[in-house]
Amino acid sequence: MDPEINKESDLLHAFDCFVSDAIAGKNSFEEFCSEFGYDQDSRKAHKIYKACVKSCAKLERIYKGDLYEFG
């Protein structure tokens, strides 16, 4: 995939992915693993989960509404 955002549709798709990741960060780690098929003992899964939690915190700083309605 091209890492450059050249069109408005690319920007919207990237933002949609960010929101989706942020919403996944609202789950507990156990729920996250169950939903996405990760092993709860996986360090990689925990790293991905922490990135989603971080995305969630960023999104909540700029959007005060219900994230589930937003996404």
Q: Encode pLDDT of 9-42 as tens digits.
A: 888 888 889 999 999 999 999 999 999 999 999 9
Is the per-residue pLDDT at 70 higher than 90? no
Q: What is the dihedral of CA 6, 67, 21, 18, to 10 degrees?
A: 10
pLDDT at 21: 92
Query: What pTM did the predictor assign?
Result: 0.80
In the chain, where are the structural domains located? 8-70
Q: 65 near 36, Cβ under 8 Å?
A: no
- Do 49 and 25 contact (CB within 8 A), yes or no? yes
For residue 16, the one-letter residue type is: D
How confident is the model over 41-65, as a mean pLDDT?
A: 93
3-state secondary structure at position 4: coil
pLDDT of the residue at 51: 97
